[in-house]
Amino acid sequence: MTVPLFVRLGALALVLCSAACSPDNSNSNTSKASPRAEAAGQPVSTARQIQPWGQLPLSAETETTLKARDSFKECPECPEMVVVPAGSFMMGTPADEPVRHNGEDPVHRVTIAKPFAVGRFAVTFDEWDACLADGGCNGITGKDGGFGRGRMPAQGLSYDDVQTYLVWISKKAGRTYRLPSESEREYFTRAGTTTPFWFGKIATQQDANYDAWMPYAESPRGETSKGPKPVDSYAPNPFGLYQVSGNIFEWTQDCFNKRYNEDKPSDGRPWLDGDCSKRMTRGGRWSFAANMLRSGYRNAESADFAGTVYGFRVVRDLTAAQ
């Protein structure tokens, strides 16, 4: 049970709560961890939630106090951001991972030297529509596919469309918001895990939104998903991020390259060589097979394609991060 403690720090309202708490889903019953996620030892810690509304942007002084899993919203319309720790991981998939694809190798070490902030959820239609209402996003509405808007993930958006939101939200918050690099995306999806999925070696319909009629390896066969689900559905991963696997594919900054090579940055920066008319996407989709939910699965799409397959999640560098 979450018991919030409000602390006044000048113009800041600081909320202390359990790591699973979120101001956007406090009444939701979808944030309860699945039995397998609980069995995997998903960490439980105290995390702060900072809402510096009226004092924009988040001050450098406050940024220096941020710890992993702390979260903040820099304006009422802004996405909730979660602090992801610095760290190192092995990117790509090993040769013995079932159903791995060409292009997911060679496995290589990536080191993220500083913590950064990631959207707790994919950007929602509520957040996209706030941009439209404020005269931003070039009047682009996206495509909800008849599934509704609100807390559904904003989708039907091309990589180029997404740039209009990033310009608007960066101006609104007074800090630069961007897409993750492909390396960052795999890093915060894995969240310290090395299995095919952050939740283990198999996938079930308790874990993510995908077409379970097309199971992965020894995973049980289930039912075909009926459509996308609200962004706060299912359990968060160990970094406190929701639906990094399944529901919708999410754009990254990286240009298309068929496989990793020595030119790929090893420090988390985006790989901007290659075919930049296409951009890499990650995460899988509600109507696609479980294989595409794997943490190391790679997909590419034309930057101007606005199919309902694609949405996005934002990242913000922490300027005061040490």
Question: How many alpha carbons lie under 13 Å from residue 302 in its C-beta half-sphere?
Answer: 4
pLDDT tens-digit readout, 211-233: 999 999 999 999 999 999 999 99
Strands (E), the chain: 5-9, 12-18, 46-51, 71-72, 81-84, 87-91, 108-112, 116-119, 177-178, 249-256, 275-282, 299-302, 310-311, 315-317
pLDDT band at 257; cut points 50, 70, 90: very high
Compute φ and ψ for 137, nearest 5 degrees: 65, 20
Helix axes 125-133, 159-173, angle to 10 degrees: 70
DSSP string for 13-54: EEEEEETT--TTSTT-SS-SPPHHHHHTT----EEEEEE-TT
Average pLDDT value over all residues in the chain: 87
Cis peptide bond upstream of 106, omega within 30: yes
pLDDT in tens, 2-34: 333 222 233 333 333 333 333 333 333 333 445
The beta strands (E) that lie in 192-261 are given as: 249-256
Q: Assess whether pLDDT exceeds 50 at residue 205.
A: yes
Q: Which residues contact 261 (CB under 8 A, 6 or more apart)?
A: none
Amino acid identity for residue 220 in this structure: P
Task: Quote the percentage of the chain above a pLDDT of 90.
Answer: 79
Q: How far is the first Cα of the chain from the last one, in angstroms, to the nearest whole number?
A: 33
15-24, 76-85, 310-319: lowest mean pLDDT where? 15-24
Contact 221, 213 (CB under 8 A): yes
Question: What is the model's pLDDT at position 56?
Answer: 72
pLDDT tens by residue, 30-60: 334 454 544 344 444 467 888 766 567 888 8
Superfamily of domain 84-317 in CATH is paralog of FGE (formylglycine-generating enzyme) (3.90.1580.10)
The pLDDT assigned to 281 comes to 98
* CA distances, 194 to each of 4, 92, 256, 267 (Å): 34, 10, 24, 19
Burial class from Cβ neighbours inside 10 Å (0-12, 13-18, 19+) for residue 6 reads: exposed
Q: What pLDDT is stored for residue 164 in this prediction?
A: 98
Type of residue numbered 122: A
Q: Residues 170-199: pLDDT tens digits?
A: 999 999 999 999 999 999 999 999 999 999
Q: What is the pLDDT of residue 60?
A: 86
Residue from 232, 14, 45 nearest 120 by CA: 232
DSSP 159-173: HHHHHHHHHHHHHHH
In the chain, where the domains are located: 84-317
Look at residue 54 in the predicted model and tell me its pLDDT.
Answer: 59
Could you give the CA distance from residue 86 to residue 264 in angstroms, rounded to a whole number? 19
